[in-house]
A = this chain, B = another copy of it.
């Protein structure tokens, strides 16, 4: 798997592909726009998925499973929704040798099915709220694909809820964006700017879309996940009604929210470096790799004794409250230690331990963090075998914190306020990042920014998300009254 990696500084797109493949996460499949997720990549996804699944359940939701195939007539019930998704739908037209009387969409998302199915379930306020979620594959026929970020098929979770009141639905949409944010920040070590989408960037069929936007290593933004306040749109389209506490019929208020494996792409692009992947320890499938070094069989035996001691001590340690440290030993004998160092670095393992004959003599182990101490991480050090577990567990938690700090600094450094049109244009001429400006709320001004800079309106930030409020009270384009700051960026 070890392979050369393009320059992150000068060929970011190729670097991304090289890291995804060289880091053993995924490769392109012999199916247009689809990827094969390899064991290491899938183990990473399982850790992210399990962390999020626990929080989804903690917040009162239950998992369900809805069919993959959606009859065309159902998809058409919500007008904006079908208009938004139709160009991306893969259509099943035949079952065996039989031509179907109605085409079936391979689900691009499941709001329509959810609406159709829950019409029968929701009769009374006692049936509300409905709080469900599914982990599923979806297909969106994309012309330009990129592993994890934009693939014809991807894995995600999609939450679907219905509530008695508009306020409850709104709270739910905000609560689930908060859960996402927790995962991005506390598990993936990725800071975001959260807030609302402008009307033109909204989910088709939603009243409001909440988002978290992160900054990738090339200065472009990535939408990390979204949570939609659907209002009564789907309830109306699917004729869902309930008897309220005063015996009056109402349409319930809906939400939906999705979090996909594109977050793996974000991990690559936020944390990766010239040597490959750098995984946040909290979700790294392997937190510690031990590379034993030996020439003779007798050296191997002595090294092995120390390695086994280190494994036992380290695996008995916990980090992040409840995780046992995940250790792997690389005993391969047909590749050199140098090859192994390079390979495990490409795969982003947070800590490498080296044990050679000299270390055995001293009862010591070399501890090498994946990121360098110049970035605030702990330095490479030699510790005694007896202290290795303590050093490793402390280093794991420090690395997690350092990675978030580092990503926060990058986000902060690359978020610039602009109060004049020229400043905004110049900011994008000089590179990427987030540029914050006043905005009047008009689609014309939003489009003007895009035409001039290629940047789109990523998010209308929640209060407190942007510390620099020097954007003024005027729309950066037309000079009209600003409805609040808007964050622009070129985006994936």
Which A residues have a C-beta under 8 Å from some C-beta of B? 29-31, 34-39, 42-43, 45-46, 62-71, 74, 86-98, 103-104, 106, 113, 116-117, 126, 132, 136-137, 139, 141, 152-153, 155, 334
Contact = CB atoms under 8 A, between A and B. Distances in A.
B39 A132 contact: yes
Contacts of A86: 96
15 contacts: A29-B67, A30-B74, A30-B117, A31-B71, A31-B113, A34-B69, A35-B67, A37-B65, A43-B62, A43-B63, A45-B65, A69-B139, A86-B96, A90-B92, A95-B152
Contacts of A334: 126
Given A30-B71, A88-B96, 14 more contacts: A31-B71, A36-B64, A39-B63, A43-B62, A46-B63, A65-B155, A68-B137, A68-B139, A86-B96, A89-B96, A95-B141, A98-B141, A126-B334, A136-B137
Contacts of A42: 62-65
B90 A91 contact: no
Given A93-B93, A95-B90, A67 B113 contact: no
Given A69-B139, A87-B97, A96-B87, A29 B62 contact: no
A36 B130 CA distance: 15
A108 to B, nearest CB: 10
Nearest to A332: B126
B91 A65 contact: no
Contacts of A139: 68-69
A94 B96 contact: no
A56 to B, nearest CB: 12
Contacts of A64: 36-39, 42
A67 B39 CA distance: 14
A69 B36 contact: no
B34 A67 contact: yes
Contact of A92 (B30, B96, B106): B106
Contacts of A116: 30
A373 to B, nearest CB: 33
A397 B106 CA distance: 43
A104 B69 CA distance: 15
Contacts of A98: 141
Contacts of A132: 39
A283 to B, nearest CB: 15
Contacts of A45: 65
Contacts of A39: 62-64, 132
A36 B90 CA distance: 21
A113 B30 CA distance: 8
Contacts of A71: 30-31
Contacts of A65: 36-37, 42, 45, 155
Given A63-B39, A64-B36, A117-B30, A153 B94 contact: no
B29 A68 contact: no
A71 B38 CA distance: 20
Closest 3 CB pairs of A and B: A39-B62, A95-B141, A34-B67
